Structure formats: C-alpha cells, structure tokens
Amino acid sequence: MVINDFLAADMRKQMQADGYDLLDEFHAASKVGARFIGWDHTGYDFSSRSEAHDFKIANVKRRNGMAPLLLPEPSLVDARLDDLRTRRKSTRRFRRSSVCLRNLGTLLNHGYGFATDDRRSVPSGGGVYPLELYVIALNVTGLPTGTYHYLPHEHALERCGSDDSQPTLAQALDGAFDEGQAGFPAFHIVVTAAFIRNVYKYGLRGYRLCLLEAGHVVHAIILASLALDLGSLPNLNFYDASMDRFLDIDGVTESVLYMCSVGESE
C-alpha cells in the first residue's frame, strides 16, 4: 500500500510537470456533487412533443442552401451481436476498393440517424444531439470525391465547399493513411460537436456528455461496418486545428472529436 501510494504520488508530480494537471481541472469542472441535486436546468421549456421535435430539426446545422443529395434507403442489417463482438477488430490495412453509396448511408443511419420515425439510433443526454457527422469520400461508388455533411432528419448529404485557404486532407491528417501504412479507406466519417447544445442545459458537464456520445456513435458505426463485411478504424489520426479548418468549422463553438475510417480490409 505504501509502495502504491509512493508510485501514485511520484506519477502525479510527473504529470503536473508535463502539464497534465489540466486533466484534473477538466474532470473536476464537469463533476456533479450533492450540492447540484435539485439544480434546475430547465433550458428550453417545450410545451409539446412536436415543439421539441421542431427545435431538434432546426438545431441541425445546414452548411448551405443547395439541395442535398438524398441517400438510398439503409440496408437491413441482420447480424448476431455475439458474432459481431467476437469479430470486432480495428482494420490496420485497407484495400484500394470502393464502397457503395447505400452502405455509406447505412453506416451514417446506424451512427446518428433514425431507428424509427421519432427515435434516433444512439442515446443523447436530454435528447439534444449535439454532434455533427461529416463524410470525407475517397472511393464511394455514386458519390464524387469530396467532403459532405450528414443531415440525419433527411437522411441526406450536403456538399461542403472549400477554398484555397483551407488545408488539404493530407495536411489535416498526420500521415497515418499514407501509402504503405494504413492503406486506402473508402471514406472517413468525422464526428464533431456543437458544444453549446449540451452546455446550455448541463453546464460544463455537457462537454463530458459530448465525448460520451461520440463514443456511442463510432461504436454503432463499427458494429454496422462488421455486419456489412467492411473494416473500420476508430482513430484520432488528425491534427485538430487543421481538421477544423478543413471542415470549415471554427474549433470553438464546433470542433472535431473523433474519426472512423471505413473500407474493405486486406
């Protein structure tokens, strides 16, 4: 016990010297203690279920006024959970092969779309759904190469514009997908968070909820990928500020959290 305490104290000193005391500050700021019991986080007071539904639709960011590309109906994924669990592994090498648009749409639907007319595929604190999904299409049949934003209520994609001031994808990534390393995924699904949607209701604890929800989304994408015989690699293989600029988001009110790369496994 004394040895363990000594090691813990020594590790803590080292972490503080390396600047890791910020971890303590974050976790402490997002905690809820007994003094918060009964704290009234009323946020928006909806008088009806339809009013809440309308707010959530309006809360989905639209990138432009152009007509979106409607995605095909999602495939019916029929697989045993035990089978998916035993087969799950991160794909370290992708083939240079395409994935059809319907399979991409199926993964987006399972990750952050609707399981029924009024129920989303993953849980969200307070039903706020603060995340946004972007697709970086590299080799998708029926979809031009480019960057797209997912509209879950319409099950559609809208093209994200770019200009010369934005970094290239190669600059936003850290080389993990260069030839000879991870190979050639067909697309990346990038998860970002519009933090204010959670913070207005849950305060600083809302930031922690964004991180948890991103995990729900990517895990759902991983399982659906397996059911479609596709490989996936959940990762943080990007430079945050460069990826934010690549997606044309400000990195403050909205910022990248997570990425899942998908394609055929070697």
Q: Is the pLDDT of residue 46 over 60?
A: no
Q: Which CATH number describes the domain made up of 46-161+169-263?
A: 3.40.109.10
Q: What percent of the chain stands above pLDDT 70? A: 74
Q: 119-131: per-residue pLDDT in tens?
A: 999 999 999 999 9
pLDDT of residue 184 exceeding 70, the answer is yes
Strand partners of residue 259: 190, 235
> Which residue has better confidence, 257 or 37?
257
Q: Are 112 and 152 in contact (CB under 8 A)?
A: yes
Alpha helices in the chain (DSSP H): 2-17, 21-29, 49-58, 81-87, 101-112, 169-172, 196-202, 205-227, 240-246
Q: Around Cβ 141, how many Cβ atoms within 10 Å?
A: 13
Going from N- to C-terminal start, the domains of the chain cover 1-33, 46-161+169-263
**What is the sign of the dihedral through the CA atoms of 250, 253, 258 and 260?**
negative
pTM for the model stands at 0.83
Between CA 219 and CA 260 the distance in angstroms is 9
Query: Which residues touch 211 (CB under 8 Å, ≥6 apart)?
Result: 257
Residues 21/24/27/30 CA torsion (nearest 10 deg): -90
DSSP track, 191-215 = EEEETHHHHHHHTTHHHHHHHHHHH
What is the tens place of the pLDDT at every residue in 103-151? 999 999 999 999 998 899 999 999 999 999 999 999 999 999 999 999 9
